[in-house]
Amino acid sequence: MAEYRYRAVREVLGAAAIGEVTARYGTSRQILHSWRRRFEQESMPGLLDRSRHPRNSPTRLPAEVEAEICELRRQHPRWGARRITHELAHRELTSAPWRATVHRVLSRNGLVSPQEQQHPQVPPVARSTHARRDSSPS
């Protein structure tokens, strides 16, 4: 792929018209300009495919907080996400996580076992088997 991009960039650097090169290589002007800029800044490594994976996740829960959630659950097996969230808030963490976040952490670490529903299922309402009358004129 880098060789393909290099040929296109080499044509542009050799004074070929951008429109002709984009038509020949099936790319857009914007892409060709970005390849050219990356080639001028980084040479051949700039033409290699780049990861689209985010470099960081600013909203990710810190590892220390996740460890503390797991430790609280191990110390107090009957505590659920609501109680652990309450405890973390009272320990004056900079920002206590939401209850749903605590539940996801517990689930991810295998500290939650699925329980049966505590409320009975309501049977669905029976529907009429009679044909509906269409209110619009035929």
pLDDT (tens place) for every residue of the chain, 138 residues total: 888 899 999 998 998 999 999 999 999 999 999 999 999 999 998 888 888 888 888 888 999 999 999 999 999 999 999 999 999 998 875 678 999 999 999 999 999 987 765 666 777 777 766 666 665 565
Q: Quickly list H helices, 43-124.
A: 63-75, 81-90, 99-108
Residue 67 domain-assigned (yes or no): yes
| CATH assignment at residue 88 | 1.10.10
Number of structural domains (the chain) is 2
The answer to whether residue 13 sits within a structural domain is yes
* 33 plus 69 within the same structural domain: no
Residue 95 lies in a domain: yes
Domain match, 33 and 70 both = no
75 assigned to some structural domain: yes
What is the structure's pLDDT at 136?
Answer: 59
The secondary structure of residue 123, as a DSSP letter, is P
Of 48, 49, 40, 5, whose CA–CA distance to 26 is shortest?
5
Same domain, 70 and 94: yes
Q: Three-class SS of residue 82? A: helix
pLDDT of residue 138: 55
14 belongs to a structural domain: yes
Tokens 């038509």, residue located: 23
Would residue 58 count as lying in a domain? no
Q: Is 88 left (phi over 0), alpha (psi -120 to 50) or beta?
A: alpha
Residue 8 within any structural domain of the chain: yes
Distances (CA, A) of 86 to 3, 55, 89: 57, 32, 5
Q: In angstroms, rounded to a whole number, what is the distance separating the alpha carbons of residues 1 and 14?
A: 20
Q: Note whether 67 and 36 are same-domain residues.
A: no
Provide the token pair at 10.
Answer: 């080499």
In this structure, are 43 and 69 located in the same domain?
Answer: no
Confidence (pLDDT) at 57: 85
How far does Cα 17 stand from its chain's mean position?
Answer: 40
* Domain around 99: 63-108
- Check: CB of residue 102 under 8 Å from CB of residue 85: yes
